[in-house]
Amino acid sequence: MNPIFFGKLYFSLFKSLSKAIILSFFFLSGLFFIFELLEKMRSFLARSDITYAFIVKLSLMALPQHILSLSPFIFFCSTCFTMWKFSEKNEIIIWKNIGVSGLRATFMLMTIFLFLGSCWVMVLNPIAAFSNQLSNQIYNKFIRKEETPLTQTPTGFWIKEVIHNNYRIIRATNVNIRQKTFENVIICDFTSAHNLSKMVIAKEATLEKNVWLVKDIQHVFGIELTPSLSLPTHLTIHKIKITAKPPKHIPFWQISSIIKEQKKNGLSYLAYDLYYYNFFAEILNIIFLSVFAIGIFWNKERNQNYYIHTFKIVSIGFGFFFLCKILHAYGEAQNISVYTASFLPTILTSCLSLAYVLHKEEFTS
- Asked whether 174 and 266 are in contact (CB, 8 A), the reply is yes
Q: Which pairs from 178-185 meet CB under 8 Å and 24+ separation?
A: 178/333, 179/206, 180/206, 180/207, 180/208, 180/237, 181/205, 181/206, 182/157, 182/206, 182/207, 184/156, 185/214
Q: Are the C-beta atoms of residues 189 and 196 closer than 8 Å to each other?
A: yes
The whole-chain average pLDDT of the chain stands at 79
> pLDDT tens across 56-109, in order?
888 888 888 888 888 888 888 888 888 888 877 777 777 777 777 767 777 878
- Mean pLDDT across 161-172: 86
Is 201 a residue whose pLDDT tops 90?
Answer: yes
Which range among 104-118, 226-240, 305-319 shows the weakest confidence by mean pLDDT? 305-319
Q: Which residue has the higher pLDDT, 248 or 145?
A: 248
* H/E element, 190: strand 181-190
Cβ atoms of residues 194 and 218 within 8 Å = no
Choose between 153 and 224: higher pLDDT.
Answer: 224
Distance, CA of 163 to CA of 153 (rounded, Å): 23
Residue 245 confidence (pLDDT) above 60: no
Residue range 10-32: mean pLDDT, rounded = 86
Please tell me whether residue 200 adopts helix, strand or coil conformation. strand
